[in-house]
Structure 1
Amino acid sequence: MIRNKHVDEYINQYKQGKIILNKERIDLINHLEKNILTRNDVFFDEIKIENCIKFSEKWYFPLQPFQKFIIAFVFLFKKQKDEMTNEDVISPYFKQFFITLGRGGGKNGLISALTNFFLTPYHGIKKYDVSVVANSEDQAKVSFKEVYDMITDNDLFIKKGRKAAPFRRTRTEIEGLETQSIFRFNTSNAETKDGGREGCVIFDEIHQYEDAQIVNVKRGGLGKVEHGRTIYIGTDGDVREGFMDGLKDRTLDLLSGEDTEDRLFPFYCKLDDKTEVDDPSAWEKANPMFHKPFSKYARNLYEEVYTEYKDLIRNPGNRSEFMTKRMNLPEEDLEKIIATREEVKATNRPFPELENKQCIGGLDYANIKDFAAVGLLFRDGEDYIWKTHSFVRKGFLDSVKLKPPIYEWEKDGLLTIVDEPSISEYYIAQWFDDMRQIYGLEKVIVDNYRIDLIRRAFEEYGIDYEVIRSPRSIHGLLAPRIETMFANNKIVFDNNPLMRWYTNNVAVKIKPDGNKEFIKKDEIRRKTDGFHAMLHALYRADDLLEVDLNDSLDFLNAISF
């Protein structure tokens, strides 16, 4: 087993009970000891590790054991033979780092020091450019400004009358002059941020990324400079089924042993259970700064977090924010959502055999100029099966930049993009007509506000329909059923990220009379048409008798009239 003193120190602190780790970090240590440190083709570059630590502590701040632990693995290398030249090829073993912990845990400070080190001859790679990407310019500039200020405060930049200095700095970029390595910041506009020739790309505030579009674009520049790395940092947020949830799932697959070949280094800090918030000694699981003995910084931070915690008694409405940002464990307000993230994920189960099964159709489209959703509701034992499709107008997509991967979903057959002034009612009628050739479609449920748009097409195709006269009134009626279906994992969407997106976009509004109403979290960018189409079909769910039309026809054919 290979060793490094900073890695040994951190692991021994855990094994001796001097620090408290959450399950994911315990699993990380087990993964490292079992699958990484035992390899004979990896090694720590001790010189770079020590130089990085000394550089950081000289120019920035004293590093904590967990920060030295992370730095050690930044400079863990893999050695292999080039098949053409038979020479040794050295590359970082971990090419991607995922660092997530409670707010104030020092992730940006660590990134600032590490980035600055990458620009220096101590790192030793020419033109090793670094970019930091975030959703807002202010956030993207956090680490940039910290490096800028350090260089300025210590008079380490080139200026008039000075022949030599380590750095050149402007308001938009910082250059290490000896290595010609440049540090820049970007906002997360994928259309204007083509991948360059970076050696390292850092993605900040990843909890706000709804998809991987900007990540894919910026990482496209990696590989042109040796020792390419990607670093993802952020505290959790309220975007579900987004990029960060995907990283968390990837982390759990790695640490559970499902995919141990993944060269991701996940440093994932959070409470193990929401009840631990009432035990301040457990807060160290979410924020590794809170290990004993406290540094001066950690003492001030702890006092601030403790004050916020005590304020929850007077302001319980702040609990969700506190759990998400300080404890890195999103606690969804069950009064305001349809289902938890885990309940929505549980809909990803394969459809049973549905051909010739009886079903009820559902339809919803708020505006014929953007989205329309259609679907079929089946019963299979205690499960409700929802098979759905959507139509989206191209002109709407061109005018409103939605974050989800709409065009990828079109390739997967989940939706159809219509390049017309509006979504014709005949697309909808045709879809239901096609479906009734395969399934036992009884009728389509549509709300009163849409029937004038669809009536003629349905009647021309001979499609039976039922109109809900007061669509909002059924929300309160169906709310208990829907909540129970999700809570007991009794609803199946198959692998349909579009339908999960629709569901996650629904907010629950409690009206003055106590009834619930299902509304959009965002009127423009968070569509809910697929959910409301399902809601309409559920209005007549009790009509489903699990009838198989083949069985019925066999029975009739057996009768001698």
Structure 2
Amino acid sequence: MTYIEEYYNKIISGDIVACKRIIQVYTMLVDRLYNPKDNWVFDEELGNRPIEFIETFCKQAQGELGASLELQLFQKAKHQAVFGFVDEQTRLRQYQEVLDIRGRKNGKTTELAADELYMLVGDGEGSPECYIIATKLDQSKKGFNECYKMVQQSPLLNKHLKKRKSDIYFASNFGTIQALASNSNGLDGLNSHMVTIDELAAIKNRDIYDLMKQSMSSRRQPLLDCITTNGFVRNSIFDAQYEYACNVLDGKVKDDRFLAFIYELDDRDEWDKEECWIKANPGLGTIKKFEFLRDCVNKAKSDPAFKATVMVKDFNMKENSSSAWLRWEELNNESKFDIKKMGFRYGIGAFDLAETTDLASAKVICMRPEDENIYILSMYFIPEEKLNQEEDNKEDDSVPYRLWEKQGLLRICEGNKVNKYHILEWFKEIRDVFDIYIPWIGYDPWHVDDSLLKAYEDEFGKETMIKVRQGVYTLSAPMKELRADLCAHKVIYNNNPIDKWCLSNTEIKTDINANIQPIKGMDNRKRIDGAVSLIIGYVVLKDKMIEYENMI
């Protein structure tokens, strides 16, 4: 019996509690064992080679130094799947990319180091170039150092592998293992045989992922292996890869070269159910100590900030910042509407011009009779020069502004500043194109000069413009009401990814009286303009609610 079948049988029998995504992938793998598709077949000998190499030659670099590595059943099943399915004629591997999402402290780094050594020494490739990738070089060197320490603990590997200034070198096939970062020079000229990304969720932009994937194009059977936990950064390469993996597992996307192992809870409510913890922690009880996880969960029950960390890092649940105003499940609303079919007649406008050299945001809030939902129309504005700077500096926002422009969610202003009058033009479009009258528009007076204010008053009337000063006195109560409506999923923002990004970035400052106001937090790359404009609009909505309800 193969390890794939053994692991699958334990899942089906209930001996191992597994999540939906793991059941999906192993059901697919077992089916392909017995019912080969296209020209792909399973070769058990090839599937066992990396397992035998690791357990024979690789030694512990942590804990009990020098002890033999013993892979767990879930690791053996994974290796058989990755290395055992091959082309019937050429015997070259089917899978060229692997995404493995599992909770922290489940043996990720040790396993990847062992895999790097196998791909360097035992994969039969001439001059294999094996790379360990991270955002920062210090981070990628952690995996590299794990490889080297593993070599040092193994007499056989230490005899043949030599550490040079920037790599580990295997003279017999001229192969190397090297640590790289997104800001490394010369990435375009690589000819990668294996690329390891440890903690994909920490990668701030997808450029290095795309570049490294393309660097494998001339190899016979390359492997891109990503092992990661979830993270707090949203709209990242991790989110894109997670969504892609789910689409492959669900059969929505056909990709015979991609294999995903997603260990996660099926439901957020399972986080305090001990019998469910193994769903996200396949090494629980062997690699990861059960008592350690129990202590973390108990602490999280009385510490909301730490709970966010446990949910993300131990259970692979999606969150944003542990100090954020809103949890991800609170702000995430994928409902959509067609403005042309909603029959909106009146809306409340708002805009935020915090920095004219940066992102700016405008909103129109709409409601309908006998409908408790609150509908949001959004538009964003960014200077062309700022956008060009973002594209040149890959460590900046790392969000797809150009794509958002193509989707009609963002408008680019010529020059180095947002043209304030473009926002006025958008409000006029909402009125003239969609026949939505805007009786009030909220704004922060700090950023609006007299000429701009007069332009708005000339177009919409002197009584239209409502000052909304920034501070706890003005914003606290409306923010708390907005949060309650977002949590109840009554605020429908058309699944706008920029709105979602800004909401997830928003943190709060609280005074001694528990009054709150929005802040950006420590990371200046995070934009909250969309959240601020929505809050401004909510201040006006709550203040004018009786009049507005009479209008609609």
**TM-score range relative to shorter protein:** 0.7 to 0.9
Equivalence for 2:174: 180
Matches within 5 A, 1:19-418: 19-34=16-31, 37-40=34-37, 41-60=39-58, 61-79=69-87, 88=89, 91-120=92-121, 122-154=122-154, 166-189=160-183, 193-194=187-188, 196-259=190-253, 261=255, 263-291=257-285, 294=286, 298=288, 301-309=289-297, 317-329=305-317, 336-341=324-329, 343-348=331-336, 350-353=338-341, 357-380=345-368, 381-397=371-387, 398=389, 401-418=396-413
Tell me: CA distance 1:522–1:431, structure 2 relative to 1, closer, same or farther (3 Å).
Answer: farther
Deviation, 1:456, is: 4.1
Equivalence for 2:469: 470
Secondary structure in 2 matching 1:55? helix
1:218-262 alpha-carbon deviations (Å, 9 max, x no partner): 212122112132222111222233222333333333334444656
Secondary structure in 1 matching 2:449? helix
Deviation, 1:520, is: 1.8
Tell me: CA distance 1:156–1:351, structure 2 relative to 1, closer, same or farther (3 Å).
Answer: farther
Deviation, 1:362, is: 1.3
- Contact 1:197–1:221 under 8 Å retained in 2: yes
Deviation, 1:303, is: 4.3
Tell me: CA distance 1:208–1:195, structure 2 relative to 1, closer, same or farther (3 Å).
Answer: farther
Deviation, 1:6, is: 1.5
- Contact 1:44–1:75 under 8 Å retained in 2: no
**Letter matched to residue 415 of structure 2:** E
524-533 vs 324-333, which moves further:
324-333
Deviation, 1:198, is: 1.1
1:507 aligns with 2:507: yes
Q: Which runs of 5+ in 2 are unaligned?
A: 59-68
Equivalence for 2:64: none
Deviation, 1:324, is: 2.6
TM-score by structure 2 length? Answer: 0.84
Secondary structure in 1 matching 2:50? helix
Matches within 5 A, 1:506-545: 506-522=506-522, 524-541=524-541, 542=545, 543-544=547-548
1:41-76 alpha-carbon deviations (Å, 9 max, x no partner): 322233332221121012221111111111111113
Secondary structure in 2 matching 1:198? coil
TM-score by structure 1 length? Answer: 0.83
Deviation, 1:469, is: 4.4
Secondary structure in 2 matching 1:194? helix
**Letter matched to residue 453 of structure 2:** R
Equivalence for 1:559: none
Equivalence for 1:162: none
1:469-505 alpha-carbon deviations (Å, 9 max, x no partner): 4343342232343224323333333353222211111
- Contact 1:369–1:422 under 8 Å retained in 2: yes
**Letter matched to residue 425 of structure 2:** Q
Deviation, 1:102, is: 1.7
**Letter matched to residue 417 of structure 2:** S
- Contact 1:24–1:255 under 8 Å retained in 2: yes
CA distance in 1 between partners of 2:351 and 2:318 (Å): 33
Secondary structure in 2 matching 1:133? strand
330-339 vs 430-439, which moves further:
330-339
Deviation, 1:117, is: 0.8
Equivalence for 1:13: 10
Deviation, 1:97, is: 1.2
170-179 vs 345-354, which moves further:
345-354
Tell me: CA distance 1:413–1:461, structure 2 relative to 1, closer, same or farther (3 Å).
Answer: same
Tell me: CA distance 1:365–1:90, structure 2 relative to 1, closer, same or farther (3 Å).
Answer: farther
CA distance in 1 between partners of 2:210 and 2:475 (Å): 40
Tell me: CA distance 1:152–1:210, structure 2 relative to 1, closer, same or farther (3 Å).
Answer: closer
Tell me: CA distance 1:418–1:182, structure 2 relative to 1, closer, same or farther (3 Å).
Answer: farther
CA distance in 2 between partners of 1:313 and 1:134 (Å): 33
Secondary structure in 2 matching 1:353? helix
CA distance in 1 between partners of 2:99 and 2:307 (Å): 26
1:181-206 alpha-carbon deviations (Å, 9 max, x no partner): 32222223489743722122222222
CA distance in 2 between partners of 1:111 and 1:334 (Å): 28
CA distance in 1 between partners of 2:262 and 2:229 (Å): 10
- Contact 1:356–1:438 under 8 Å retained in 2: no
- Contact 2:468–2:539 under 8 Å retained in 1: no
CA distance in 2 between partners of 1:225 and 1:270 (Å): 33
1:434-471 alpha-carbon deviations (Å, 9 max, x no partner): 43321323242212222326324435656654222434
Question: What RMSD over aligned residues (CA atoms) do the two structures have, in Å?
Answer: 3.3
Deviation, 1:140, is: 1.0
Secondary structure in 1 matching 2:466? strand
Secondary structure in 1 matching 2:341? coil
Secondary structure in 2 matching 1:362? strand
CA distance in 2 between partners of 1:316 and 1:485 (Å): 21
- Contact 1:237–1:325 under 8 Å retained in 2: yes
Secondary structure in 2 matching 1:75? helix
Secondary structure in 2 matching 1:407? helix
198-207 vs 30-39, which moves further:
30-39
- Contact 1:349–1:495 under 8 Å retained in 2: no
Q: Which runs of 5+ in 1 are unaligned?
A: 81-87, 159-164, 549-561
CA distance in 2 between partners of 1:225 and 1:350 (Å): 48
CA distance in 2 between partners of 1:474 and 1:18 (Å): 56
- Contact 2:330–2:486 under 8 Å retained in 1: no
CA distance in 1 between partners of 2:478 and 2:140 (Å): 44
Name which of 407, 416, 428 aligns with 1:433.
Answer: 428
176-185 vs 276-285, which moves further:
276-285
More helix as a share of residues: 2
**Letter matched to residue 105 of structure 1:** N
CA distance in 1 between partners of 2:189 and 2:488 (Å): 45
- Contact 2:324–2:505 under 8 Å retained in 1: no
